[in-house]
Amino acid sequence: MEYEEFWELDNFLIVTDGTKPALKWTANELRKRGKIFTVLDCSENPMDGSIQNISQAPDSISNVVIGITKKEPGEIIRKMTEKGVQNFWVHWKTDTSEVKDIKNDNTLNVITGRCPMMYLGSSASIHGFHRFVAKTIGKY
């Protein structure tokens, strides 16, 4: 699956612990695009309207975006695969050796090494500039 195709999907779970601001921006961008999503906030001060436990994730979730540094993201992937989810986006610099092992499973689509906002942000933003630079140097 190409990076842009991931954002054409629907029914997302966004997993955050508040350490990666791009996850809040991702939720805002998905909201603007009319996408269906749920936020799982693992922080000490969860945002309003979020769930705090993976067991609360709706069964309708098809795609998961993970940006956590205080817990193992691979654990989230394993629990969501038990619910039948196959598409995951792990925010750059938050993938772990466990995530890298999971990524070898050919039945799953696990994207790593990319910031969601490089693909979601508007052209007139720092994210658009990041996208321009990434395209220029062949890292898009």
Residue 121's pLDDT band, with cuts at 50, 70 and 90, is: low
Query: pTM of the predicted model, to two decimals?
Result: 0.87
Q: What range defines the domain where residue 75 resides?
A: 3-136
Q: What is the pLDDT of residues 67-120, one digit of tens each?
A: 999 999 999 999 999 999 999 999 988 999 999 999 999 999 999 988 888 777
- Residue ranges with strand state E in the chain: 12-16, 37-41, 63-67, 87-91, 109-114
How many residues are listed for the chain in this entry? 140
Question: CATH code at 116?
Answer: 3.40.50.720
**CA–CA dist 27, 100 (Å, integer):** 25
Q: What is the pLDDT of residues 36-63, one digit of tens each?
A: 999 999 999 999 999 999 999 999 999 9
**Domain total in the chain:** 1
